[in-house]
């Protein structure tokens, strides 16, 4: 599999008129920010661009503060684009409804930072050492010679900020901070970005967090914590799936916890968000069930009950060497406290 250079990516945009951009199902900040940033660049180049959602549901409201926050459900898009760009998607199955558009597009390109890209597109631009797909888009934007607007920089900043957990995860590097500094120089307000994503909770969301904490269950010598929310919670509290994005971080923040799992029962399936401190590879656990992600953050969808989903997940975690090692004294003390 050959990886395009930045110049080759830009060359592939020449002569293109219509472009469809789609990210993975249940898009996060990196997926959405990357799509919007790339769309902005291509529109400057004169392309007609449509940002697609892989599922027939509204875009997450959490990021609606971003300029030109406009998406179309892939199932409602009937055109045949000159170019289909899969963003933050390592496998075709993660495109959801976007797969049908991908199949009829004249050409395809994948831009991604996951370590397990399956080679499904005609061309690929990626780097699994990049903190976020947004950093790859930022490289393309800088090399393009385009007029970099504050909105373009903000899209990329949100992508990087969310995929690094506010620059705290292990994927954060010197390069990450350099990219972020460049984005701020181009007009990003980092305080506003952080407040909009992390510090603008409704009372209903705080109540949802309370339910999450009450339901916590520990296993593997307290190294694993699981909790869950369901559709009844959403209806009673008036919250949506978007409001669950920060919940796994609450679980992982507990001293001694190495793997945190948020299970969300909805629409006849159970969606699992996995987080680790980096010592355990939850990305591999997710791949074993047809999911995807990274070493420290991954996702799975189970088509079964909540109880069975927890059973399957804990059984898979039993196989991780990091959870079978003998506790050292310092970690044991953290558990006891």
Residue percentage of the chain with pLDDT more than 90: 78
- The arrangement of strands across the sheet holding 48-53 comes to 72-73, 48-53, 18-22, 83-87, 107-112, 123-126
What per-residue confidence (pLDDT) applies to 108? 97
Per residue in 215-243, pLDDT (tens digit) is 999 999 999 999 999 999 999 999 887 78
Question: 203 pLDDT exceeds 80?
Answer: yes
CA dihedral 255, 243, 302, 231 (to 10 degrees): 120
How would residue 21 be classed by pLDDT, with cut points 50, 70 and 90? very high
Instruction: State the average pLDDT over residues 176-189.
Output: 98
Tell me which DSSP letter residue 326 carries.
P
Crossing angle of helices 150-163/190-198, nearest 10°?
50
66-86 mean pLDDT: 97
Confidence of residue 296 (pLDDT cuts 50, 70, 90): confident
With a pLDDT cut of 70, the percent of the chain lying above it is 96
Distance (Å, whole) CA 197 – CA 73: 23
**pLDDT digits 0-9 by tens, 23-63:** 999 899 999 999 999 999 999 999 999 999 999 999 998 99
Q: What angle do CA 157, 160, 161 make, to 5 degrees?
A: 80
Band of pLDDT at residue 326, cut at 50, 70 and 90:
low
Q: Over the chain, what is the mean pLDDT? A: 92
DSSP string, 119-180: --SSEEEE-TTSS-HHHHHHHHHHHHT----HHHHHHHHHHHHHHTTTTTSTT--HHHHHHH
d(CA 305, CA 214): 20
Q: Are 200 and 159 in contact (CB under 8 A)?
A: no
pLDDT number for residue 237: 95
**323, two tokens:** 């959870």
Q: For residue 30, what are its two tokens? A: 């990196």
In the predicted structure, residue 180 carries a pLDDT above the cut 50: yes
pLDDT on residue 325: 66
d(CA 235, CA 42): 40
Is 299 or 87 the better-scoring residue by pLDDT?
A: 87
CA distance 130 to 215: 35
The confidence score (pLDDT) of residue 329 equals 41
Q: Specify the pLDDT at position 1.
A: 62
97-153, pLDDT tens digit by residue? Answer: 999 999 999 999 999 999 889 999 999 999 999 999 999 999 999 999 999 999 999
pLDDT, tens only, 255-286:
999 999 999 998 889 999 999 987 899 988 99
């Amino acid at each position: 599999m050959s990886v395009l250079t930045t110049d080759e990516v830009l060359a592939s945009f020449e002569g293109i008129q219509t472009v469809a951009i789609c990210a993975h199902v249940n898009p996060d900040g990196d997926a959405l920010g990357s799509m919007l940033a790339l769309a902005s660049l291509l529109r400057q180049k004169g392309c007609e661009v449509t940002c697609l959602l892989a599922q027939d549901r509204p875009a997450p409201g959490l990021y609606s503060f971003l300029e030109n926050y406009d998406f179309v459900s892939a199932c409602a898009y009937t055109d045949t684009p000159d170019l289909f760009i899969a963003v933050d998607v390592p496998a075709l199955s993660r495109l959801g409804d976007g797969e049908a558009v991908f199949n009829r597009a004249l050409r395809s390109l994948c831009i991604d930072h996951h370590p397990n890209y399956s080679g499904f597109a005609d061309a690929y631009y990626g780097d699994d050492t990049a903190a976020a797909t947004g950093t790859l888009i930022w490289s393309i934007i800088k090399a393009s010679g385009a007029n970099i607007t504050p909105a373009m920089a903000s899209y990329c900043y949100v992508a990087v900020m969310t995929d690094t957990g506010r620059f705290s995860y292990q994927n954060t590097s010197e390069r990450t901070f350099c990219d972020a500094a460049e984005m701020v120089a181009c007009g990003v307000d980092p305080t506003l970005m952080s407040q909009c994503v992390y510090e603008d909770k409704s009372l209903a969301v705080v109540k949802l967090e309370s339910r999450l904490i009450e339901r916590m269950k520990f296993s593997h010598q307290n190294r694993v914590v699981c909790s869950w929310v369901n559709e009844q919670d959403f209806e009673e509290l008036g919250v949506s799936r978007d409001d669950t994005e920060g919940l796994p971080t609450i679980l992982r923040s507990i001293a001694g916890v190495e793997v945190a799992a948020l299970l969300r029962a909805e629409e006849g399936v159970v969606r699992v968000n996995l987080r680790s401190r980096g010592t355990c590879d939850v990305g591999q656990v997710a791949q074993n069930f047809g999911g995807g992600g990274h070493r420290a953050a991954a996702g799975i969808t189970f088509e079964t009950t909540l109880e069975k989903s927890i059973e399957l997940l804990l059984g898979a975690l039993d196989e991780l060497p990091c959870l079978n090692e003998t506790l050292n004294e310092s970690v044991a003390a953290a558990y006891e406290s």
